[in-house]
Amino acid sequence: MVGIPVKEVARRLGVKKWEVFRLEKAESESRIALRTLWRAAEALDCDLVYALTPRQGTLEELAAKQKAAREKEREAALEVVRKEEKEREYKVMKIIGWRSEMRRHVRRGLREHGIRVR
């Protein structure tokens, strides 16, 4: 580890030498715990820097792209719901006979205005 003898690193970490080799192997295999890395950094008088950075652009741009994609998905889902509602409404009107229903409402409205209808 960074040119410091294994024996010294083990002493600083408060572990046996074989544990230092085990930690180095875990780190090289990308399976080391952050807590363990933090302990190693402390023992070596270092700061542990852990960060995620976008491959392209800035974090703000990445967030804006993700927000736009979510909005697009939301709009598509709403459109599907609107279409399903329209189809359902049409089926209901077809079942109850929308023409006779409309005729009934027109007659009622005319009667309310004092017009005689058969």
pLDDT per residue over 28-41, tens digit each? 999 999 999 998 99
pLDDT of residue 76: 96
What is the pLDDT at residue 35?
92
Give mean pLDDT, residues 31-58: 90
Once rounded to an integer, what is the mean pLDDT over residues 75-81? 96
d(CA 37, CA 39): 5
Q: What is the pTM of this model?
A: 0.46
Cα 35 from Cα 41, distance rounded (Å): 10
Q: Residue 26: which pLDDT band, with cuts at 50, 70 and 90?
A: very high
